[in-house]
Amino acid sequence: MFGFNIASNNDFWIYTIVVIAVVMGVLRRINLSSFGASLNAIRDDPVKAASIGLPVKGLRLAAFTLSGAVAGLAGALFAQQGGIVTPDTLSFTFSGQIIIMALLGGMYRFWGPAIGALIFQLLSTAVFGNSSNGTLYLGIILLVVVLVFPKGVLGLLERLTNRFPVLARLPRGRRR
């Protein structure tokens, strides 16, 4: 496909990175559009959003459809990488890892889940390795994130920049 042999490991990872970059770019454009602002309004206060005339049910349906399409694409890439998907693949441990990745980075920030996934993968490979106690480590990470970093790592960085004015002057992207 496009000169890539996605059966080879290196080409598959390049292909995956390109797909992720395109999807993240499209989602970022959506997030910054009026449609994204409407979705944020519904997330923050659906009653208020309905009172200003936003079609809450229709926008929620569109959001679920969009998120389902992105999740389906991620599942297709996962199946391509693994070659097979079984019921064991979708165990609580695996599903829990995905939730922890989103929580770790910060759920209400655009880059939060992606940064959380990078941090989680670095932790799992560098610190935990091939340990048989993966579920225990998963639980520990979940507890630490929920108790110490309730808004994720990006929320912690935001809190630090608010507390230390020198850090607040560093250039940043658009904030919400």
pLDDT, tens digit (0-9, with 9 covering 90-100), for 88-110:
877 877 888 888 888 888 888 88
% of the chain exceeding 90 in pLDDT = 32
* pLDDT per position as a tens digit, 49-58: 999 999 999 9
Residues 137 and 144: beta-carbon distance below 8 Å: no
Q: Decide which of 38, 54, 85 is a domain's last residue.
A: 85
Better-predicted residue by pLDDT, 162 or 28? 28
The total number of structural domains in the chain stands at 2
State the residue range of the domain holding 60.
1-85
End-of-domain residue from the set 85, 100, 118: 85
User: Are 95 and 147 in the same domain?
Assistant: yes
Is the same domain home to 126 and 54? Answer: no
**157 neighbors 108 (Cβ within 8 angstroms):** no
163 and 142 co-located in one domain: yes
Lowest mean pLDDT among 38-42, 91-95, 144-148, 164-168: 164-168
